[in-house]
């Protein structure tokens, strides 16, 4: 639904692209990075970043709200069992990481993490190391995640 709305908004701005064109790139998981590639390919923008800045970012001209659960539904889902917390991430400051470690320990949550690597869609983020090597997830973290998931499955 969001992608159809995005196509309609882009078309209303004079950008002639179709959802079918975008889906060729994204297949079943078509998202804004695929729209950016089509905008670039068709010459509407000069870079992927310009596509986001001009059309696709949350505050850009073609922005379309995400379909997310309302507050009450979100709380209901969380009350059904929050199991982990993303402690390590390329956008987290050292202070954020420390806070999330404390929260995970306090609420007995599995610490998770990742770099948020998306290939060419996020060129400043590198696979396994994040932005400027700011993400270091030791192998012990993976082992801990596996134990936590196994423990939950055994309940």
pLDDT value at residue 140: 86
pLDDT value at residue 42: 96
Q: In the predicted model, is pLDDT for residue 23 greater than 80?
A: yes
Domain-embedded: residue 149:
yes
Give the number of other CB atoms < 10 A from CB of residue 43.
7
Dihedral (C-alpha) 134, 140, 143, 149: value to the nearest 10 degrees? -60
- If one counts the domains in the chain, the total is 2
CA–CA dist 76, 69 (Å, integer): 10
Residues 89 and 148 in one domain: yes
Residues 25 and 95 in one domain: no
pLDDT value at residue 73: 77
Residues 52 and 94 in one domain: no
CA–CA dist 34, 119 (Å, integer): 12
pLDDT digit string, tens, across residues 30-74: 889 999 999 999 999 999 899 999 999 888 899 888 777 777 777
Q: In the predicted model, is pLDDT for residue 122 greater than 80?
A: no
pLDDT digit string, tens, across residues 65-117: 877 777 777 777 777 677 889 999 988 999 999 999 999 999 888 899 888 87
pLDDT value at residue 13: 95
pLDDT value at residue 97: 92
pLDDT value at residue 30: 86
Domain-embedded: residue 37:
yes
Do residues 24 and 79 touch, judged by C-beta distance below 8 A? Answer: no
Residues 48 and 79 in one domain: no
Structural domain range at position 24 = 2-56
């Amino acid at each position: 639904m969001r992608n159809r709305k995005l196509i309609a908004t882009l078309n209303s701005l004079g950008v002639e692209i179709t959802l079918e064109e975008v889906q060729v790139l994204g297949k079943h998981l078509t998202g804004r990075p695929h729209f950016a590639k089509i905008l670039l390919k068709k010459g509407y923008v000069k870079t992927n970043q310009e596509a986001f800045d001009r059309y696709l970012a949350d505050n850009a001209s073609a922005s379309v709200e995400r379909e997310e659960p309302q507050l009450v539904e979100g709380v209901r889902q969380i009350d059904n069992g929050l199991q982990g917390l993303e402690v390590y991430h390329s956008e987290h400051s050292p202070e954020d990481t420390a806070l999330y470690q404390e929260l995970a320990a306090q609420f007995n949550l599995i610490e998770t993490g990742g770099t948020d690597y998306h290939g060419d869609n996020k060129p400043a983020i590198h696979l396994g190391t994040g932005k400027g090597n700011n993400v270091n997830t030791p192998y012990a973290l993976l082992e801990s995640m596996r134990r936590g998931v196994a423990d939950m499955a055994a309940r």
